[in-house]
């Protein structure tokens, strides 16, 4: 199925707003929606928008101490300014947690090397910190927390992780963020070559791998199941 991204206003059409200005995240979410919502007629008519579509909207300060707290802050901030009864908001906060660095960069992943740092700058800083402080323990995991707010006080949450270890240099050109230095642990999915997934970074693996196994994909799958149940229940009411 294809989600509508038409900006034409339709007061009867439900809108799902993604609380992000990150084009990479928007693209990944749209791909995940198509994958997980493919057989779900109840939500085929959602119009997908992002915070970037609101020229006057400024993102809130992420003052939470956990991924879930920050996702909730972002969801509530965007939801509070939407002037429609048909609006739903999805917000996500995620990051990379390194065992040997006591979970850092964690909630600071996007700004690890500075407030306006790039993915490359963040990645190089992390590799340097791991080299200095924990060269023999390179275990890490991605963590994703997702919040959905909807009409009549609806609030859904889900979290999940993807475990792996860090390389010593950037490898691969796909993905974004820390993907070029993150090698995911083998999965139980027999459709994939376990030996291959042990040696390749997320930036080297094909896109379908992230759509199936990533922290964001798994968290989204959980919350979509809850959303499906909610929408199906309201149809029967």
Residues involved in catalysis: 93
How many residues are recorded in the chain?
237
The helix/strand/coil state of 51 is helix
Q: Are 197 and 187 in contact (CB under 8 A)?
A: yes
Question: CA 160, CA 174: separation in Å to the nearest integer?
Answer: 22
Burial class (CB in 10 A: 0-12, 13-18, 19+), 85: exposed
Q: What is the dihedral of CA 224, 225, 231, 236, to 10 degrees?
A: 170
Copy the structure tokens of residue 197: 């997934």
CA distance 21 to 185: 30
Integer-rounded Cα radius of gyration of the chain: 18
Contact (Cβ atoms closer than 8 angstroms) between residue 30 and residue 3: yes
Give the three-class secondary structure for 41.
helix
């Amino acid at each position: 199925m294809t989600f509508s991204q038409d900006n034409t206003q339709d007061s009867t059409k439900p809108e799902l707003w993604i609380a992000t200005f990150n084009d990479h995240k928007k693209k990944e979410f749209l791909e995940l929606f198509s994958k997980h919502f493919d057989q779900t007629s109840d939500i085929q008519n959602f119009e997908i928008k992002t915070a970037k579509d609101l020229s006057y909207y400024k993102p809130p300060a992420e003052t939470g101490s956990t991924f879930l707290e920050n996702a909730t802050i972002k969801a509530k901030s965007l939801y509070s300014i939407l002037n429609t009864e048909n609006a739903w908001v999805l917000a996500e906060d995620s990051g990379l947690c390194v065992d040997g660095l006591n979970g850092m960069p964690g909630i600071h992943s996007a700004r690890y090397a500075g407030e306006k740092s790039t993915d490359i700058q963040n990645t190089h800083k992390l590799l340097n910190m791991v080299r200095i402080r924990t060269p023999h323990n390179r275990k890490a995991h991605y963590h994703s927390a997702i919040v959905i707010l909807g009409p009549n006080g609806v609030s859904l949450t889900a979290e999940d992780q993807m475990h792996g270890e860090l390389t010593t240099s950037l490898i691969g050109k796909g993905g974004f963020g820390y993907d070029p230095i993150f090698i995911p642990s083998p999965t139980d999915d027999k459709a994939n070559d376990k030996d291959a997934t042990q040696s390749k970074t997320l930036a080297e693996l094909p896109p379908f791998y992230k759509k199936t196994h990533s922290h964001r994909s798994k968290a989204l799958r959980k919350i979509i199941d809850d959303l499906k149940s909610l929408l199906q229940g309201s149809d029967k009411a």
